[in-house]
Amino acid sequence: MRRSLTQWLTAKGSGRRSESGMTPGESRQSNQLRRLLLIPIPIFHSARRLLPDPLQIDLRTLTGPSCCCFKTLPNWLYRRALHGMSHHNQRGIVDIRRRLPGNWATTTTMNDIPVGLIESLRTAQHVAVLTGAGVSAESGVPTFRDAQTGLWAKYRPEDLATPEAFQRNPRRVWEWYAWRREIVSSVRPNPGHYALAEMEQHVPRLTLITQNIDELHQQAGSTAVIELHGSLHRTKCSREKIVIDDWVDTGEAPPRCPRCDGLLRPDVVWFGEPLPHAALQSAAEASYLCDVFFSIGTSGLVEPAASLALEALRHGAVVVEVNPQATPLTSLATYALQGPSGQVLPELVRMTWPE
């Protein structure tokens, strides 16, 4: 008789223990769990101590990606676990998601805002939001890759946004950022920016984490903004690493620091540089303390920001993705709202808090 998946995973083995310390039955269950999570054998055994005991797994306890038996996994393994929970396998691995209650991983269009999401927002005490380049692109800000036009088309972004590039040719790097600053100064926040600022007025606490360097969120009225990649509108000393507000314009590019005579540079994070520790720590805290987490206009590929949504999932938050295209997060999110943020977010705010 064919056993249920619960019986399959919880059946107890017997017999002598192998060198790994497992009985043959336990070893079989371990392999079954590994297959369920689609984790390669070497990786699985090296991380087995981080996994729940296969003998203790009962699918009746699974209520979504934040279930207790997955909370202890590291992010890289957690991602693989969720991937295994959402895909079939030619060898007959069961799609666990079909056994779970509720609207987990619901994908909707901008005209179909889920009632469950509206209720979650109305009762949320803390909302965290992560925004990426797609939000600014709706205002006309070129993405990092699209910024290579005109005189700058012959350069790769990596050749202009590294400490090494600045050391080789500081004038070229300074002028490229001055050109980008001029472009950004001509754009304005879009309805998505304003919707997030309005959302901040309706919830007890909203933390806005952005990968963008244009300060459009602040222009729209958002106050609790964490800038992971710095700001194009700030300048700092390349030697002392402190923000400089005023300096003597001698026509030199880049200008000199009035404190130490070092070269000034944009206060942005370049390739090869770590994210600001305080900003990253605050973002991580918001991700695991929030009730609702939004990922908006971001590809979900750039780390460590991409792990923030997984951290929110791990701690039981409702995770919402707003993006015109599917990303690696789409199948994992509680709700995936497909469409431009400038259209989806105003509609979401209007339906959640009608006047």
Catalytic positions:
229
Quick one: which of 135, 132, 128 has its CA closest to 319? 128
Say whether 190 sits in a helix, a strand or coil. coil
**C-alpha triplet 328, 334, 340: angle, nearest 5°:** 65
How are beta strands 127-131 and 206-210 bridged, if at all? parallel
Q: How many CA atoms, within 13 angstroms, populate the side-chain half-sphere of residue 261?
A: 0
Say whether 157 sits in a helix, a strand or coil. helix
| CA 131/CA 261 separation, integer angstroms | 36
How are beta strands 292-296 and 127-131 bridged, if at all? parallel
Query: Tokens 């920016």, residue?
Result: 193
Q: Six-digit token pair at 157?
A: 């972004």
CB 270 within 8 A of CB 162: yes
| CA 320/CA 294 separation, integer angstroms | 5
CB 204 within 8 A of CB 198: no
Q: Six-digit token pair at 206?
A: 């909203």
The interaxial angle of helices 115-123 and 341-352, nearest 10 deg, is 70
| CA 219/CA 232 separation, integer angstroms | 14
